[in-house]
Amino acid sequence: MRKIHFISFALLAVLMLAMPAASTAQVGLAITVGPPALPVYDQPLCPGPGFMWTPGYWAYGPDGYYWVPGTWVEAPAVGLLWTPGYWGWGNGVYIWHGGYWGPHVGFYGGINYGFGYGGVGFYGGAWRGGVFAYNTAVMHVDARYVHNTYVDRTVIRNNVSRVSFNGGRGGIMAQPTAEERLAERDHHVGATSMQTQHEHSASTNRAFLASENHGRPAVAATSRAGDFNRGVVASRGTTASETRGGTHNATARTNNPNLSRNNANATRTRTNTNAARTRPNANATRGGNPNSNAARSGAGGGARPNNARVNQSHNQPQRQSNPPKQQGSSSEKRH
């Protein structure tokens, strides 16, 4: 079955090469198993002025879904914004719609990728006088080096979803807005060479496979494209308390870095104090390391990513009449 699955993937690749370039940008791969939930992660620090945030996403290869970390890249031209790609359900398959650069942000499936991409449009920043200004309410930048900033907290949304595909059972039921339909008529530029190299590098690393990381990649986002060693952040656990706390803490850290550091220090102090009053047994160890508890709970709780469906794609390559429902709480967020 695995051999047949690989042959099917190879045939899809051959068909894609035979299509015109404009067609492949809209169609891409067609898969019968939905992608896992989006992982929860913090945004790495912006490396400098002019860098644009591109969200992480699940791509597909011969061994199933693999994570492509979110990263900062430079726009190919002044005034261009990135519209992320997305998985969409249609005609019994999941189809990847590739991302692109353009003067306006178009439709990206209503997927909440976070950090300015809340499902419709982009509110992480804007071009002003040929210079990109960052909304520090949702973007993680260092004001000592990036001076073109502003704050707009009205765009922050707390009731969000980690669903990573549009349409079908369990998917985001969103349709393009009038503005997004107009954006489809703009002149578009494909992913830059750094973006394509970034995705290729992720595809060659088995640690990014959903079947290996169970939906929680060790490198969820990077400061620079293709660099998976420096300036990287890992995905968080997926318990309800950890995810909700991660959502608010990430926003607070972006708005007020000093406040976030003080809160983190206070948390560590309380943890150490409690551990000091308790004999150093196994229970104290678990209480003193909330991250390990979150990881264990995330691995066994209802928010488990759809790794089982990825394995199913290897063993049962036939089409499914109804897509599997993606697991994960709609209130969880990866930042």
Look at residue 155 and tell me whether its pLDDT is greater than 80: yes
If one counts the domains in the chain, the total is 1
177 in any annotated domain: yes
Exposure string for 55-67, b = 16+ CB within 10 A, e = fewer: bbbbbbbebbbbb
238 in any annotated domain: yes
What pTM, to 2 d.p., does this model score?
A: 0.66
User: Tokens for 327?
Assistant: 């697991």
Q: pLDDT tens digit string along 206-265? A: 999 999 999 999 999 999 999 999 999 999 863 333 333 233 223 333 333 333 333 333
Look at residue 103 and tell me whether its pLDDT is greater than 80: yes
User: Tokens for 238?
Assistant: 């997926």
19 in any annotated domain: yes
334 in any annotated domain: no
User: Phi first, then psi: what are they for 59, rounded to 5°?
Assistant: -100, 175
Radius of gyration of the CA atoms of the chain, in A: 20
Q: Which residue has the tokens 């990881």?
A: 295
**pLDDT mean across residues, the chain:** 73
333 in any annotated domain: no
Helix 2-18 to helix 307-315 angle (10° resolution) is 90
Residue 79's domain comprises: 2-315
67 in any annotated domain: yes
Among 44-48, 141-145, 268-272, 312-316, which stretch is predicted with the lowest mean pLDDT? 312-316
326 in any annotated domain: no
Predicted confidence band of residue 159 (pLDDT cuts 50, 70, 90): low
Helices (H) and strands (E) in the chain, counts: 10, 15
203 in any annotated domain: yes
Q: Which residue has the tokens 């073109």?
A: 148
User: Tokens for 90?
Assistant: 């249609």
